[in-house]
């Protein structure tokens, strides 16, 4: 009798101490509504890629500066890509872009093709875009890459906060 | 009690003593245990464990404090304790998506957290120290965290002018204007324009009662549940010009009857010069079609075009789509309209073209004979002349349904504020919203989206018409509404507001008259005023040579082969073209471009040859610019650069294009002054003379344009 009363008392105390934490979330878990922005996969419009803030800024810059030569469709209609020789890589072409490091891409965007012994048709953007903006463009290209881009070994073991 | 038992306690008493001491101890322990188990302390301990797994542990712990962290900014009304748990927010090495929340760094933005706090953008309860209290709606705090998908709304609370970084918000603001929301609602920073929908004072002279009935029942743009907009059954990227109202059969009859009687300004048939009609060869409708294309009516008006088996609308959306216009309008009205649109609608954006009788006749023939559909009025009951009762009921309906909010009719006062004031909707508390019977989540975003897509779902008495928008447009509109949070809470916030700088540019004099006649500002920008479809002309006087300008105004040839929408042919007189060119040369100049005559001697053939080498070799300009028949489609065609551009402009442009046109996509190169001179010398040698040059340009441009292929 006493034992059970004691147990009841202890559990009451414990409940009092730790409270009820269960509350449900207000927003439905639609991943696209949780992402900053999104973009349909260029080769598979059904697959929607969520974009983070930096990737979304890169997307914005891509669609003003780069889209004319690095995509097959542009906001103004025809693309200039097929007009160039050598033909520029598609921005989502993982078979070409995944091999290159972030540093290399940053250099070629900043300094232009001729500085890296590539086609002089790629102009330098170092005076138009900031280094941060160029990194955002690279982040965007990585996000839409097909086949998908695997970053080189991520630092430290996996860890969760809980 | 025996002496030996003194000092001894009975077992019962001992038990009571033990139990109470244990309980007492436990009670004492409650407080430290609860304190230890506090949510934010658990995150602090987790962070300490987490940083041990990172290579830069020492640096990550440099700012670590075991207590509650708080950012206090009295000017902004910010008391934010978010950084108590979000410990890595300013650590650049924790930016990676593999870092678990709440420790991930914030992406780099122009507003550092120490100066702006968190809640100024993210909303939520800054002073809370528990995740649910901080992030969600609780009994004591209504404003939850703003989902990051709509975060641009927060930029808009202070940045009332558009920013390049907020495309979603800018789109939403454009939609608020485009959808005429201001007809019924008061909005922040959106003024009522002079005209929302067309003035209906003489609508009866333009269209029949049957057509009005059909339009009211099913405005020509139809949007399906997925947000796909079709006009006359053809897909388009545009938005409906008029939303769909819920009208009963009787209401349709009454309203169409009333509107068809509005004929206060009768149309006088235009008498064409018989010589002009006799002069043409072949079918006038064929000639009209050719003129319709040559004049580039499609820059503002779309037509449906079938290409490779799919039919879509091609052309601009400044004016209405015209595929079936011939079955809609009265032919006499059409001729009168084309001659002087402002006579019928004083605030119409349509330019007043200079028509020859032959052109006017053939174009009206084309429109009334070819742009028709005999099935347009299918499904409309036979409607006789309206009775007096119908007209009276229709007149009352026009006012009751709020038609007078957007459409003016002489003698009927303009309605204002038919719908609720939305200028502070973004800060509305959930408890103030009425959700009716609907099952949607109880939050502001769900409410706004339900209200826009199906007003009846939250309010069965709603008068608002149905808007079916594509999901991204719905989100953009929601972000724009969420950005309207009313007056800033503090004087400090008030000071931060970057307001729109509304500007008007309506010069007086002869230029002003021609400028208004051809509505130059509908497409072009002038000192911050005007449309964005065509190039900004604020510095055109520094850029273009006078002779070229006059020739271009008389007969516009596109210099940008990629464009689908081109400058229309206005058929303006020599006098008008000279007036425009004189004013542009005198008043629309850039302070960064010298106006003095450039010494032509420095541009020797040697320099030009060196420039050609630089153009083709080192800088590969041909990747974007066309000369002759080779080159790219991105920048303007340079075939006629020597006649088109001023030397001073070319030099200034090569030095720093963004200084002249801030959002140009021409990359700024590191040219030496020597190279700039050589390139300028080369570009000035590129000239085409008169007719022949123009013809090659057009031929090439049409090859590049998918639109012209589709029309053929």
Asked whether the beta carbons of B604 and B650 are under 8 A apart, the reply is: no
Backbone angles phi, psi at B689, to 5 degrees: -95, 135
User: Tell me, what DSSP letter sits at residue B524?
Assistant: S
Write down the mean pLDDT value for chain B: 86
- Mean pLDDT for B157-168 is 91
> What tokens were used for B346?
């004083």
Tokens of B593: 């471009």
Encoded tokens for B334: 């059409």
B702 confidence band (pLDDT: 50, 70, 90): very low
If you search the block for the tokens 């040698």, which residue do you land on?
Answer: B685
Distance from CA of A155 to the nearest CA of B (A): 7
Compute the average pLDDT of residues A137-142. Answer: 95
Cβ contacts below 8 Å, chain A against chain B, sum to 135
* Concatenated DSSP letters of B331-386: HHHHHHHHH-HHHH-TT---------HHHHHHHHHHHHHHS--TTTTTTPPP--SP
Token pair of B63, please? 């700012």
Hey, where are the domains in chain A? Answer: 32-144
Q: How far apart are CA B64 and CA B111, in angstroms?
A: 22
Helix, strand and coil percent figures for chain A, each rounded to 5: 45, 5, 50
Minimum CA–CA partner of A81 in chain B: B632
Which chain A residue lies closest to B53 (C-alpha atoms)? A156
Q: What is the DSSP letter of B223?
A: E
Q: Please tell me whether residue B164 adopts helix, strand or coil conformation.
A: coil
State whether B107 and A25 contact (CB < 8 Å).
no
Residue B200's SS3 state is coil
Nearest to A14 by CA among B111, B26, B12: B26
Nearest Cα of chain A lies from the Cα of B259 at a distance, in angstroms, of 40
Residue scoring higher pLDDT (A26 or B546):
B546
Q: Which residues of A touch B165 (CB under 8 A)?
A: 57, 60
Q: What is the pLDDT of residues B305-334, one digit of tens each?
A: 777 777 777 888 888 888 888 888 999 999
The pLDDT value given to residue B705: 35
Residue in B667, B669, B675 to test binding to A, most A beta-carbons within 10 Å = B667
pTM above 0.80, yes or no: yes
Distance CA B400, CA B187 (A): 22
pLDDT digits (tens, 9 = 90+) for B266-319: 888 888 888 777 766 788 889 999 989 888 898 888 888 777 777 777 888 888
Longest distance between any two alpha carbons in chain A, whole Å: 91
Helices B647-655 & B673-684 angle (0-180, nearest 10):
140
* B552: contact with A, CB 8 A cutoff: no
What is the ipTM metric for this complex?
A: 0.84
- In chain B, helix, strand, coil percent, each to 5? 45, 5, 45
Q: Please give, rounded to a whole number of angstroms, the shortest distance from the CA of B656 to a CA of chain A.
A: 9
The pLDDT of residue B505 is above 80: yes
- pLDDT for res B599: 65
B661 touches chain A (CB under 8 A): no
As a whole number, mean pLDDT of residues B429-440 equals 87
DSSP string, B160-171: -S--TT-HHHHH
Q: Measure A118 CA to nearest chain B CA, in Å.
A: 12
B643 contact partners, CB below 8 Å, separation of at least 6: B545, B547, B548, B687, B688
CB within 8 Å of chain A, chain B residues 213-272: none
Provide the chain B residues 44-73 that lie in CB contact (below 8 A) with chain A. Answer: 46-47, 50, 53-55
Nearest to B564 among A57, A77, A119 (CB): A77
Pair B256, B394: CB distance under 8 Å: yes
Q: What is the mean pLDDT of residues B87-95?
A: 90
Predicted confidence (pLDDT) at residue B417 exceeds the cutoff of 90: no
**Chain B residues near residue A6 by CB distance under 8 angstroms:** 19
Task: Flag if B37 and A76 touch (Cβ within 8 Å).
Answer: no
Cα distance between residue A103 and residue A119, in whole Å: 18
List, in order of start, the domains of chain B with CATH numbers.
3-35 (no CATH), 38-65+75-90+106-135 (no CATH), 203-370 (1.10.760), 509-711 (1.10.760.10)
Angle, alpha carbons B39-B43-B45 (nearest 5°): 115
- Is the CATH code 1.10.760.10 the one for domain A32-144? yes
Contact (CB<8Å) A13/B633: no
Lowest mean pLDDT among B377-381, B413-417, B707-711: B707-711
pLDDT at B264 over 50: yes
Q: Is B495 on the interface with A (CB under 8 A)?
A: no
Q: Take residue A145 and report the two structure tokens written for it.
A: 């890459």
Contact B418, B406 (CB under 8 A): no
Select from B26, B663, B669 the Cβ nearest to the Cβ of A13: B26
pLDDT at position B232? 55
């Amino acid at each position: 009798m006493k034992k059970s009363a004691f147990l009841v008392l202890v559990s009451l105390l414990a409940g009092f101490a730790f409270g009820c934490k269960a509350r449900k979330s207000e927003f439905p878990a639609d991943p696209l509504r949780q992402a900053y922005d999104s973009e349909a996969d260029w080769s598979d419009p059904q697959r929607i890629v969520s974009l983070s803030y930096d990737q979304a800024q890169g997307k914005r810059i891509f669609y003003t500066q780069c889209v004319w030569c690095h995509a097959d469709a542009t906001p103004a209609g025809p693309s200039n890509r097929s007009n160039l020789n050598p033909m520029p890589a598609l921005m989502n072409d993982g078979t070409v872009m995944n091999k290159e490091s972030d540093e290399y891409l940053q250099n070629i965007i900043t300094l232009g093709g001729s500085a890296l012994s590539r086609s002089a048709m790629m102009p330098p953007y170092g005076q138009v875009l900031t280094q941060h903006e160029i990194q955002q463009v690279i982040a965007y290209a990585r996000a839409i890459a097909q086949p998908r881009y695997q970053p080189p070994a991520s630092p430290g073991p996996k860890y969760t906060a809980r | 009690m025996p002496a030996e038992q003194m000092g001894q306690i009975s077992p019962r008493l001992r038990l009571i003593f033990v139990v109470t001491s244990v309980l007492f101890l436990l009670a004492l322990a409650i407080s430290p245990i609860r304190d230890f188990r506090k949510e934010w302390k658990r995150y602090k301990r987790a962070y300490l464990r987490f940083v041990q797994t990172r290579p830069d542990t020492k640096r990550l712990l440099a700012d670590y404090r075991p207590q509650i962290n708080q950012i206090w900014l009295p000017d902004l009304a910010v008391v934010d304790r978010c950084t108590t748990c979000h410990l890595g927010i300013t650590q650049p090495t924790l930016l990676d998506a593999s870092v678990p929340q709440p420790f991930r760094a914030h992406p780099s933005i122009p507003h550092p957290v120490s100066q702006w706090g968190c809640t100024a953008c993210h909303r939520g309860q800054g002073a809370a120290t528990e995740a649910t209290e901080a992030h969600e709606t609780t009994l004591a705090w209504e404003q939850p965290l703003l989902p990051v998908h709509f975060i641009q709304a927060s930029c808009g609370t202070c940045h009332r002018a558009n920013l390049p970084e907020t495309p979603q918000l800018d789109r939403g603001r454009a939609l608020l204007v485009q959808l005429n929301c201001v007809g019924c609602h008061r909005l922040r920073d959106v003024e009522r324009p002079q005209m929302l929908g067309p003035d209906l004072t003489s609508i009866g002279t333009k269209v029949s009662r049957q057509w009005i009935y059909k339009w009211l029942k099913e405005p020509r743009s139809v949007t399906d549940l997925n947000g796909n907009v079709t006009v006359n059954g053809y897909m388009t990227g545009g938005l409906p010009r008029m939303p769909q109202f819920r009208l009963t059969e009787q209401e349709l009859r009454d309203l169409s009857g009333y509107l068809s009687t509005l004929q206060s300004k009768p149309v006088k048939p235009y008498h064409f010069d018989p010589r002009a009609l006799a002069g043409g060869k072949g079918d006038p409708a064929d000639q009209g079609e050719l003129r319709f294309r040559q004049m580039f009516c499609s820059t503002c008006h779309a037509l449906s075009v079938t290409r490779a088996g799919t039919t879509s609308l091609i052309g601009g959306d400044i004016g209405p789509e015209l595929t079936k216009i011939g079955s809609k309008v009265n032919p006499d009205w059409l001729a009168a309209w084309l001659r002087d649109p402002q006579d019928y609608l004083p605030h119409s954006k349509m330019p007043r073209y200079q028509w020859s009788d032959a052109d006017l006749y053939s174009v009206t023939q084309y429109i009334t004979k070819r742009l028709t559909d005999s099935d347009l009025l299918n499904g409309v009951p036979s409607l006789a002349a309206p009775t007096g009762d119908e007209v009276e009921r229709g007149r009352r309906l026009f006012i009751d349904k709020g038609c007078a909010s957007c459409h003016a009719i002489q003698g009927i006062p303009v309605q204002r504020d038919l719908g609720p004031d939305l200028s502070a909707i973004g800060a509305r508390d959930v408890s103030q919203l009425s959700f009716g019977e609907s099952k949607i989540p109880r939050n502001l975003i769900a409410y706004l989206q339900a209200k826009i897509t199906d007003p009846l779902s939250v309010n069965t008495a709603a008068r608002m018409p149905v808007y079916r928008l594509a999901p991204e447009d719905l989100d953009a509109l929601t972000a724009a509404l969420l950005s309207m949070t009313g007056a800033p809470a503090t004087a400090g916030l008030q000071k931060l507001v970057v307001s729109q700088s509304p500007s008007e540019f309506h010069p007086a004099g002869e230029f002003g008259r021609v400028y208004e006649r051809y509505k130059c500002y509908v497409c072009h920008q002038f000192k911050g005023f005007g449309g964005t479809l065509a190039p900004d002309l604020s510095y055109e006087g520094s850029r273009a040579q006078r002779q070229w300008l006059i020739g271009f105004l008389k007969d516009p040839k596109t210099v940008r082969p990629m464009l689908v929408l081109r400058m229309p042919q206005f058929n303006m007189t020599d006098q008008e073209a000279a007036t425009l060119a004189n004013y542009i040369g005198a008043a629309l100049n850039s302070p960064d471009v010298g106006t003095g005559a450039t010494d032509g001697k420095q541009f020797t053939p040697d320099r030009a040859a060196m420039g050609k080498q630089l153009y083709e070799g080192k800088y590969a300009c041909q990747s974007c610019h066309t000369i002759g028949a080779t080159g790219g489609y991105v920048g303007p065609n340079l075939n006629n650069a020597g006649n088109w551009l001023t030397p001073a402009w070319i030099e200034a442009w090569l030095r720093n294009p963004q200084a002249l046109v801030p959002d140009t996509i021409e990359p700024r190169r590191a040219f030496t002054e020597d190279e700039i001179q050589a390139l300028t010398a080369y570009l000035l040698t590129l000239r085409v003379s008169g007719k022949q040059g123009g013809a090659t340009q057009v031929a090439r441009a049409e090859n590049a344009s998918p639109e012209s292929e589709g029309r053929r």
